[in-house]
Amino acid sequence: MIKNERQYKITTAQVQMFARALESLKQETQEAEVHPLLVKAQEDAVTSQLADLEAASRAYESFRVTSRS
């Protein structure tokens, strides 16, 4: 749970980092000979973490908007 603006900024930076990491992972695994199950596990892990961070950001944004009203 994000509790303040500092944490929100850190989380949004992490969202961008995980999004880039996911794209990079997809490109690298296409070029390398990696077992498909390993590729799926890696992509699922990064996607899951990215989804968690995005959900936390949205929750904080929603809280921030409602608390200002």
Share above pLDDT 90 across residues of the chain, in percent, rounded to a whole number: 72
Q: Angle at CA 11, nearest 5°, toward 56 and 21?
A: 105
Q: What is the DSSP string of 1-44?
A: ---SHHHHHHHHHHHHHHHHHHHHHHHHHHHS---HHHHHHHHH
At 11-36, the pLDDT tens digits run 999 999 999 999 998 888 877 888 88
* pLDDT at position 69 over 70: no
Supply the pTM of this predicted model.
Answer: 0.85
Give the domain ranges of the chain: 5-68
